[in-house]
Structures are given as C-alpha cells and as structure tokens.
Amino acid sequence: MSETLNTTLAARFQSLQTYVNSQIIGQPHLTQRLLIALLSDGHLLVEGPPGLAKTKAIKTLSELIEGSFHRIQFTPDLLPSDITGTDIYRPETGVFEFQAGPIFHNLVLADEINRAPAKVQAALLEAMGEGQVSVGQRSLPMEKFFMVMATQNPLEQEGTYPLPEAQLDRFMMHVNVDYPNAESELQILELVESEARDMNKTGFPPLSQVDLFQARDDILKLHMADAIKHYIVQLVMATRQPQTYSADLAELIAVGVSPRATIAISRCARAHAWLQGKDFVSPDDVQAVVHDVFRHRILLNFEADAKNITPDDITDQILSFVPVT
C-alpha cells in the first residue's frame, strides 16, 4: 500500500476518534484507549463509577467497525457454559450440536466482570490469551477480529470476586474513568436531548475489517528506534529490580510486571503515535500509555497500601528514575 493510502487510512481512524468523542463526551482518555486497544489487537479493562458511558463507548464503537457485538452481564449465578456455549442434544437427529455462546462475537462487553466467580472469569482466559475456546475434546477458534472490554465498579465491592493476576495480565490496558467536568456535563445533557428529539441523526460510515487489519499492519511497520525499545525494557525492569534505582521504591513493590507488559507498551505506543499522524515512535508515546499498561500489573505490598500509594504513583517514580535513552 502506498504512503498516500496509509495516510488516508490513518486520517479515517482519526476522524473515527473525533466522532466517538462527539458521542462519548468528557471521556477522551477512554475513547482513545479503546481505539488503541482495537488497533493493537488487545483487550481493555475499564474501571469507574456507574453512568460514565463505559457501556455506550464500546457499543458506539461496535456500530463504527464492521462486526458483531454482544454484551454479557456478569452475575454470581453465571456459568462458564453461559460464556463459551455448550453441546445441545437434537432429538430429531440423535446427535449433539454445539450452541455457540456470546464469546463468539467480534466485540464483547463483559459488564461488571468482577460480579462473577473465578470459574466464570476463567472462561475468558483462553479466549483472550489463545484466541480459542476448548469445549469438551475440541478447541474452537475465535474470529480474527476479537476484542473484550470488561468493566468493573470500584464503589461496590460487596459480593464481588477480584480478578486474579493471571486474568488481569490478559488485559492490554487498565483504564480508570472519572466524572466529567461541568462543561462536559452540560454537553452531555444537550446531546441526550438532541438525540431524543431526532432519532435519525447522521452517523459515521463504518470501517471494514479489511481497513482494521490494514491499519494494524501499518502500525506494526511504524519505525521504532532501538533506543526506544531499550527504554521500554528499562521501564519494565525497573518494576522487577527497583533497588537499582531506589531502596524506597524497592520496599513498595511486591511483584513487577510480566513480559506481556513489554509487548503491550510497544504495541500501544505504536498505535498512539499512528493516531497522532506520526511515522515513528517517540518517548512521549511510551510515556503516554505506560500508566494504563502498568496499572493492573504492578502488585504493591502492605506498606504501599498503608501509605495510600497507588501503582500510578509507582509508575510516576519509575518514569522519573529511568533516563530517556
């Protein structure tokens, strides 16, 4: 594909981002991370109070990309087969027929994922990590275009099941969302009233999966200097060997991030640069995404909890310690 076509494709995704921001007001960080995860072939965990358009964000995106969408409401009585599907006996044929579950869609919203027990959460692990689902003696492949956005509510912890580290690591990024400001709140009110008066509003022409896969290929070809790769690795190593930089930092971190974090930073930084219209990855792109990649992967000890130190605080310290090469 020529440079002109590449530029045109990037411009289309930039226009898509602008349109999503016009529909999801006051949450530009969420909408950008949603697109970055989509372009990086990753999954997204979103945490925030109810009513902040988390569900609407991915539903809006599903209307702008060719593919199927399904929302799964996680509850304590949900079963793994409710996610993956099960074999159904057909009396008329005398054989069992597999009835696919909601996981076999392109875009899946796992709403309030921490409401379901670990066995149900684990039903997502193989699909998210391996791109397949095992049912009985068979392994069924997922669609090439497959993305999970999971949400959880940080306010109501009673009756919830915290996600295990193994599943958290499958999410490329963990995004925190908060309430919009007064100006955005007014725009939300005006948008909802406008939509109520005119349900036939003009939308955005959907992008095909061919466009999506081409964009992913272009992003992987984006130039990343060796110095940037070494910078990413040093940020990751600082979480595992914090004593190299600070004894105080070492006393706060229980477990550093996994190699998936290294891969995620690289992919997300590339997508971030591409969405900015750049043809190379800079340290600014790495720094823009590292908090969302580290947030759910850095495990802190009791001393950090006692001091109300968060993974974001640790990431800030790491960024200040590790020199930009």
Which residues neighbour 200 within 8 Å (Cβ) at sequence distance 6 or greater?
none
Q: Which residue has the tokens 């990086």?
A: 40
209 residue type, one letter: Q
Q: If pLDDT is split at 50, 70 and 90, which confidence band does 158 have?
A: low
Strands 107-111 and 147-152: parallel
- Residue 287 burial by CB count (10 A; 0-12/13-18/19+): exposed, middle or buried? middle
Report pLDDT for 125: 81
Q: What is the mean pLDDT of the chain?
A: 89
CA-wise closest residue to 103 among 89, 124, 78 = 124
pLDDT score of 123? 80
Q: How does pLDDT run across 79-90, given as a tens digit for each residue?
A: 888 998 888 888
pLDDT in tens, 223-271: 999 999 999 999 999 999 999 998 889 999 999 999 999 999 999 999 9
Query: Any idea which of 58-72, 127-141, 282-296 has the lowest mean pLDDT?
Result: 127-141
**Chain center to CA of 118:** 20
Phi, psi of 148 (to 5 degrees): -110, 130
Average pLDDT score over residue span 184-200: 80
- Measure Cα distances from 225 to 8, 23, 70, 228, 262 in Å: 24, 36, 39, 5, 15
247: left (phi over 0), alpha (psi -120 to 50) or beta: alpha
Cα torsion angle, 283, 233, 294, 254, sign: negative
Kindly list the structural domains of the chain, giving each domain's residue range(s) and its CATH number in brackets, ordered by start.
3-195 (3.40.50.300), 222-321 (1.10.8.80)
pLDDT at 95 over 90: no
Grade residue 280 by pLDDT with cuts at 50, 70 and 90. Answer: very high
